[in-house]
């Protein structure tokens, strides 16, 4: 399959979206970070000496959405109109799942923004908690849903 990120000479390029029509677009991504039981308890009780881990991870994720085009070389800078970050703590497998929903009306999708935010949420949790648990593992970063644009709807099964 030919990649749209390369020209006829094989050189990298930003995809030309100038002739596309704007449409409502949504992208949902998740990340999951596993940790020790005590670390999850510390997060859930808000007992970390550095502050509210999830509140800081939420802000970091939102900030990363706005910076995605600066981090991913061929991403378009797009106007993101909404970002929601939801955290689910799972005491069965001692993990935190970050679910990111991004919305825009634009000519190009925002899957990379949602994936970046999910990654940064997990990385922020790791950074804040590494002093008490260096064994944490970020084992999932994945796109769950995308809608809008020519390619339509994608839902992970």
- Whether 52 sits among the annotated catalytic residues: the reply is no
Angle between helices 53-71 and 37-45 (to 10 degrees): 100
The contacts of residue 157 (CB under 8 Å, 6+ apart) are: none
Q: Of 16, 86, 127, 139, which residue is the catalytic one?
A: 127
CA distance 114 to 56: 17
The contacts of residue 136 (CB under 8 Å, 6+ apart) are: 33, 34, 35, 36, 39, 125, 126, 129, 130
CA distance 98 to 32: 6
Q: How far is CA 123 from the centre of its chain?
A: 11
Q: Give me the active site residues, please.
A: 127
């Amino acid at each position: 399959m030919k990649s749209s990120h390369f020209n006829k000479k094989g050189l990298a390029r930003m995809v030309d979206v100038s002739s596309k029509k704007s449409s409502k677009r949504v992208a949902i991504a998740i990340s999951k970070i596993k940790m020790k039981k005590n670390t999850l308890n510390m997060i859930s009780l808000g007992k970390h000496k550095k502050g509210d881990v999830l509140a800081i991870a939420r802000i970091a994720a939102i900030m990363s959405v706005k910076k995605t085009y600066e981090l991913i070389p061929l991403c378009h800078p797009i106007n993101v109109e909404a970002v929601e970050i939801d955290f689910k703590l799972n005491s069965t497998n001692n993990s935190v799942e970050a679910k990111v929903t991004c919305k825009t009306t634009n000519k190009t999708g925002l899957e990379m923004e949602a994936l970046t935010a999910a990654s940064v949420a997990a990385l922020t949790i790791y950074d804040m908690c590494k002093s008490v648990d260096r064994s944490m593992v970020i084992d999932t970063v994945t796109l769950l849903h995308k809608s809008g644009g020519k390619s339509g709807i994608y839902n992970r099964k």
